[in-house]
Amino acid sequence: MSSAQQMVSRLGFILAVAGAAVGLGNIWRFPYMAGEHGGSVFLLFYLLFVFLLGVPAMAAEILIGRAGRATPATSLRQLASTYGGSRRWSWVAGVGMLAAAMVLSFYSVVSGWGGYYFIESLKGSLNGLNSQGLGQFFDTFLGNPLLLIVFNTVFLIMTLTVNGRPVAKGLEKLNYLLMPLLYGLLILLVFYASHLPGFQQALNYLFSPSWEQISGQVLVEAMGHAFFTLAVGACCLMAYGAYMPGKQSIPKAISVVVLLDLLVSILTGIAIFSVVFSNGVDPSSGPGLMFITLPGALNAMPMGDIVLPVFFCLFIIATWTSSINLAEPLVASTARYFSLSRSKASFAVGCVIWLLGLIPVFSFNEWKDIHVAGHGLFDLWTGVATNILLPLTGFLVLVFVGWVLPKTAVMEQLGSAEDSIKSHYWMILFRYGAPGMVLIIGIAGLITT
């Protein structure tokens, strides 16, 4: 990979990785997961696993990409050959690509929901509806496959048009624009929430631990969410590692990204739970929290008709940047493997993702009665991708860094002396700590999927 394909700045790399991490996991999944699993207790263990599991898994992917300076599969194959490992390690990238394709296929569908709700909230279609009316509105929308396909298609076009351009002109420039806008909107929403009667209750819910809520399920769910929200296991971080400036510190860059990612989750949680508690609504509303509970609560709030479109604008920005960054390894690998331009590779990837997206689309209407092992198609599709394939890829990447690459090569990329305390800490996490936790996620995923 030529130097021209590297990010032109250290900030560009950080914003790209932050864009990959910040998305559905922060805006949609974190609030309802926290609501279902005790609020503060879930947040506490989520933070713990982010640093014990997420940080080493991110570091492992990025350092492989930077050491190889190529697509994920090529980097793994070249590094394995250089250090006496099997060239079949490149197959790990294949698992990651499959995971990325499956995740992007349902990611774009759910993101399309946000686009539809943004338009409808601007039109005022949601104003005045109670929870029952909003539930019917949501069900009617999901029951219309044509409407779901239209918004999924629009979102995919938005995403892959950016991926079709050179990295520095497309992905990086958009991240420079959208990431600051995302944080600006979040700050405005929290400022609004701070004037609501449920603001203090939201803070207590998120930051005053209720230890009686601790359970094995909370631990596993918090661990899995930490893995999912940091974009680990889909090889996109490996792709960005190849673009990373050579003198940039991997640990420092990851620290900034993790803090940015956590900030989005926490600020979103404060804003949403402030609205929910101000209206006396149960926070454990599940996946419908964003599309049913929140609009219903805002309908009873001052300026709710203005705040609701802002929420869905925030939702679209977060999922758009994340989808672009998630698609990057797919586009880069397709372009290299088939000797295509980025624009043609992006179009090809878009067609495949669109076809795969028909599965989650039809799972809500035409195929809603189809169940496999007690699971609907949407739950099965998302479960296989997030609970099995992502942890499997992450586990193998950690094993590769911890046991195939020599310690000298790993520490060279991390900028640590081989015999330092930091180096011992990193190697313990790479070899034992993080793989052990990923294994737990994978086993839990097999049991529940």
pLDDT at position 448: 60
List, in order of start, the domains of the chain with CATH numbers: 3-448 (1.20.1740.10)
Dist. CA 109–CA 365, nearest whole Å: 14
Phi, psi of 375 (to 5 degrees): -115, 140
Note the pLDDT tens digit of each residue in 214-236.
777 788 788 878 877 888 888 88
Note the pLDDT tens digit of each residue in 275-290.
889 888 778 776 778 8
pLDDT at position 2: 42
pLDDT at position 3: 39
Q: Which residue has the higher pLDDT, 235 or 2?
A: 235
**pLDDT band per the 50, 70, 90 thresholds, residue 365:** very high
Q: Does position 175 have pLDDT exceeding 80, yes or no?
A: no
Residues 6 or more apart from 107 whose CB is under 8 A from it? 23, 24, 319, 322, 323, 326
Q: Which tokens belong to 24?
A: 């559905």
Check: CB of residue 269 under 8 Å from CB of residue 31.
yes
How many helices (H) and strands (E) the chain has is answered by: 22, 2
Dist. CA 333–CA 342, nearest whole Å: 10
pTM to 2 decimal places = 0.87
Give Cα separations from 353 to 21, 43, 80, 149, 378 (angstroms). 20, 33, 30, 12, 15
Give Cα separations from 204 to 187, 277, 411 (angstroms). 19, 11, 41
Among 36-40, 45-49, 281-285, whose mean pLDDT is lowest? 281-285
